Structure formats: C-alpha cells, structure tokens
A and B are shown apart, each in its own frame.
Chain A
Amino acid sequence: MANIKLENITKVYDSGVTAVKDFNLDIKDKEFIIFVGPSGCGKSTTLRMIAGLEDISAGTLKIDDKVMNNVEPKDRDIAMVFQNYALYPHMTVYDNMAFGLKLRKTPKDEIDKKVHEAAEILGLVPYLDRKPKALSGGQRQRVAMGRAIVRNPKVFLMDEPLSNLDAKLRVQMRIEISKLHEKLGATMIYVTHDQTEAMTLGTRIVVMKDGVIQQTDTPQNLYQKPANLFVAGFIGSPQMNFVDAEILKEGTGLVAKVGDSKLSIPAEKAKALEDQGYVGKTVVLGIRPEHLFDPALAKVEGIDTNNKISSTIRVYELLGAEVFLYFDYAGTQMTARVDPKTTAKSGDHFDFVLDMSMAHFFDKETEKTITN
C-alpha cells in the first residue's frame, strides 16, 4: 500500500531559484505515473523531494497519509533507479544485488531469498556469479533494478533509467519495466524527458515546465486535448504546427484567417471562440502534422477540401509507412505527415488540406486552450 500525496510542494534553492512551484498531486496505490518535461523543468527535483534527497521548502508530502517531510530517506521505504546504473565492479551480480541489504544488516538467508526472487523476475539467475564487466548494457540495467527490487519497497522512483541505453534496448526495456510494474504491483514514479517513453509507459502523465504542472492526464487526453500551447507542442512527434490566426465572422459561422487563407471553423469550436470573445482577435491555431492532407487523399477521407493552405515543399522525407513534407507558411515552419501515396515532391507548389475538426485554438497571451 502506498498512496502518495503532494500538497503545495515548493522547492527553492539556496540561490533563490524556484525549482518546483505549488505542486499538487495524488498518486494512487500501485499507480504507474510519469513526470515528463524538458530539462530543468523540476521533474527530477520533485522525485528527489519524494525520496528525501532534497529538502521540501514548502508544502506537505504524505505517504499513506503520514507526513514525510522530515522523515529520513532510508526510513521512507522507497527504492530508486537512476540513469547512471553504476555497479560495484569487483562484485558479482549476486553481491551487487545483495549489497544494499547487507548495509541494512539483513539476515543472510533473507538476503539470499530476496536476491534469488528478484533475479528470477528479471531473468538474471544465469548471471548471478558474473561480474558487471561480463554483462550487456541491458543486463546491467536489470541488475540496477534488481538492487531496488530486493528491498521490496512501497514505492519505486525511476529517474531516466533508460537514458544510457541505445534506442533498440530502450524499447525492449520499456516493455520490461511495464511488465515489472504488473508483476510487483508497487507504486512507481518514472521521470523522463522523452515524450514517447512517457506516452508508452504511463497510465497517467504529469507534464511539467518551469517547476509548474502544466497538465496531468492520460496519454490520450494529453495528445487530443492539450491544456495549453506548451503541452500541445511537447506531446507528439513531429510536434504540432502553430500559426497565428485572426478569428473573423463570416456569414453565420467563424473563419480563421491564416496568411492569405480563410479556414472554416467547426460549429462547436466556433461557439467556444465566440463565447469567450475571440472574434476579431488573433489566436494561435494548432494543427498536428497528421491532420494536414494531400487534397486528393483528403477527399477519400471525407475531409472538406476547401480548408487549405498553399506553399512550396522544402523537404520531402519518405519514412516508409508515411511521408513528412516540410514547408513554410505565414512565417512559420510547418510539417505535414501524409500517406506515401501522395504525389507531392520536394519543390512542388502544393495545397495542404487542414482537417479543421482536429484544430486547436490557444490564447496568444495566456497560451491556454480555448476550445478543448
């Protein structure tokens, strides 16, 4: 059992820099939650405050309803796995996994039982007598995880544990971590700067920027209903296209004037814009690359081909199952992710159809969503 509650948590360093500001979050027992954000956004600092490695400047941290602010790290029943999975070079895998328990004066037979159990879970039994030098990168990382598992903690904290691995191994280990969470049934908090890792691993994701939570939601909601411009840009690759748009009334509906194009805004989004007084104002229009279409293919999809912008394709990138087209429009670099059946080529002057039902609108000043 480990519910974690962070109430108005703030971290101010001695220099006066605020690393985390008014952080509020309820983490349920056995939940796998991800903290994601760019470097310096405060995600690791938050994790370290939960671990007790950083003091909490203000606010309350509770684990199972017990205030933990002043509890020693070693008494919090937490285990950590970090990026630099250093192993003791002169010890075998067994001794590496047993070391932490020995430090805690755990009886020998109990150490043996726990190490073998963890090795079983991680598929490390055949390697227990090997030294770290004789292991692959993935196996070493599993030993680092084994060191955390043997402690049988209430909470696992993982800070970019896969960053040192190559891309292929990262994907493999991602699956293994997911399985591990299911097997162990422990609460896990996982920090990463990689939005793909976050989207594939977590059931709930906390997006952070400048020490502030931007949005806490499911991966799907973060992608489809971003709360602000930052989340919209951070989640998704290639990132969402952003362009300034003037909202105008035309007939009974609204249009977004972008460059020299006028794009019809669907009724529901138009209502939100109108109700909040954005008619006649400039907002930021966001559209994901996959919602820009080749006109010929848009027709097949049943998308209104009147909502289009024209530009010259700068770069054509074939990735096999999809094509990325890069172009400039209204002073902004844009990307379209289209079907490889497209006839578009580099240097072509091309029409791009926008699926406006998937468009997002953001306030230019506050950067908050208007229509989600």
Chain B
Amino acid sequence: MKTNSVDSLLETLYELSGIHFSIDNETDFDESNVKRIDELVTRLRSKLSPAQLMERYINGLMGLDEIITGAHDIHFEIPPLMDLMIISFKETITSEAISVINSLYDPSNGFMFKKDNHTCVLIHSAFDITSVDNYIKTCSSIRDMLNTEAMVNARIAFDRTSTLKELPIVYQHTETALKIGYIFDPDKTIYNYHNLGLGKLLYNLPTDVCANFLKDSLPDVDFSTIDNETLNIITTFLDNGLNLAETARILYMHRNTLVYRLEKFKNQTNLDLKQFDDAVLFRIGTMIYKYLKTKENGN
C-alpha cells in the first residue's frame, strides 16, 4: 500500500533529515507503517521548533536537562533571561493577530505559540524592561497594536523576567494573574502577577466560605443595589486613604457633598466608611461579591 500521502511524508522526511528514504514495492506496507513515518516526521518537526520545545518545557512535559539537550540538538541558543507574556483574546485568535504579534519581535529573539484557540504565549529574550512600569508599557503597546492593527481585543498578563529554570513557575504565575485579574479587574486589560492584591488570597477560598462571610459580616449591604456612582465615590475614597479633601478634589465634587454621600451610605448599610475597619470590610466585601458573581456567570 503506497499512496500519495506516503510520498508526501517521505518528501517531508527528506526535507527534515536530509536523508532519502524509499519503499520497496515488494515490501508489505500497511497503515501502521504510515503512522510510524508520520510520528517520525512529527518528532523531527518538534525537534526543529524552539517554540514547541519551550511549550513542552513550561507545561512540565520536559525537564531542564531535556530542553537544554533539545535546544543544543537544533542549534538553538536559549537566551539567559526571558520575558513571558500570556495574551488572551475574547474571540478565536485571528491570523491578523498572529501576524501582528509575530511582527513585534525579531524571530531570532522570540517565539510565540498558541495555548488554545483564545490564548497564546509570547516568550522573548528579555526586553529592555527595567521596571514594572516599563513592563506595563510594553504590554500596553502590544495590546494597542492588536487593537489598532488586528482590530481585536486582548488581555495580557505578565510576571517577571526569568531564567530558563524559573520559566515554568513564571508561566504558572502568569496564568494565575490572567485568571485572577479577569475576576477582580475585568475592565482592565493588563495584569501583573505581583499586583493582584487581596484577589490572590480570595481566589483560593472556597465560594461557600466567601458567601457566608458576606452574610455574616455585611448583613445590611446589598451589593447588587449599589449604583455605579456611589461605588465610584467609595472606591476613590478608599483608594485615597480615606482622605475627604483629596477624594473631593479628584471627583470634582464639593467636600460637603462627599460627606453627605458617605453619611447617606452609612444610614443605608451601617458602614461608616470614614472608619478604617468598616472601609476594609467594605473593600473585601466588594471583591468577594465580584468573585461570586463571576463564578455564578460560569467564568
């Protein structure tokens, strides 16, 4: 049994190995033989792709020694320091998006692989990133390029610059950052593993513990009825260290109006947000509410 597909496989085998193979017409050649050639081609192909080597390594399918040997076999020089970013798309990744990402780096310094139909991983020899701000700026640039050139929305998560040895853990952190960021800051598009705050803690709590906390500690607060304006005022007040003057300035609001709004909220919920303990309680409550709501929506 010799078909066109076998010819094509043999041709590929020659391209990958530089060795000519042929099948004697007399040989008993069946499906299992085709499968074995196909596997050989796949193995050779994977050997030639640094991206595939990295994908296996960060997913724990290959050890440190193996990737070093594998990289050596294909004459691929692993950069001493690398940056890893996970880019997540709401829709299926388009060819335009892949083209944009591939054009962002010099192919000899980086590579990208698809994690699934909505996510891809970009690994690059360390960008010239010296601070978290620069990391955010780099991620923002990638996001904006995807927005403007490929017309797709993207969220990007990052951890830190790492060595090859640290890369699998950095990958895990980055994945976690994307999940937690999406729950607690869904309106943001850039997530830093080291800036997930309380979200990192709450994410690891069972949902029933969270639900009970809301019931027990904040019985008078119905988070579903708090309007956006009130929430924005409170968030700004909390973000500014419970400073009335500063909050009023940022919100372009009269100080007395702010005091009136906080009093009104106190009458409705029994929470005096000018008190540190109540403010913390409300902050945690809001986050838990978001977390439970996201879980409820099946995300």
Contacts and interface: CB of A to CB of B under 8 A. Distances in A.
Given A14-B186, A19-B187, A82 B151 contact: no
Contacts of B137: 84
B297 interface: yes
B147 A14 contact: no
Question: Top 9 nearest A-B pairs by Cβ distance?
Answer: A86-B141, A73-B151, A233-B252, A82-B144, A84-B144, A74-B151, A210-B229, A84-B141, A84-B140
B3 interface: no
A103 interface: yes
Interface in B52-72: none
Contacts of A21: 228
Interface of B: 96, 99-100, 103-104, 106, 137, 140-145, 147-153, 183-184, 186-187, 224, 228-229, 231-232, 250-257, 289-290, 293-294, 297, 299
A326 interface: no
Given A21-B228, A88-B103, A210-B229, A15 B290 contact: yes
A99 B99 CA distance: 10
B228 A18 contact: yes
Contacts, number: 106
A17 interface: yes
Contacts of B145: 86
B106, B228, B232, B293, most chain A CB atoms within 10 A: B228
Contacts of A99: 103, 149
A48 B141 CA distance: 16
B252 A364 contact: no
28 contacts: A13-B186, A13-B187, A14-B186, A15-B290, A16-B224, A17-B186, A17-B228, A17-B231, A48-B153, A51-B151, A74-B151, A80-B148, A81-B148, A82-B148, A90-B103, A103-B99, A103-B100, A147-B148, A148-B148, A209-B252, A210-B228, A210-B229, A210-B232, A229-B252, A230-B253, A239-B252, A364-B257, A367-B257
* Secondary structure of the B contact surface, majority rule: helix
B112 to A, nearest CB: 15
Contacts of A229: 252-254, 257
Nearest to A164: B137
Given A14-B297, A14-B299, A239-B252, A103 B257 contact: no
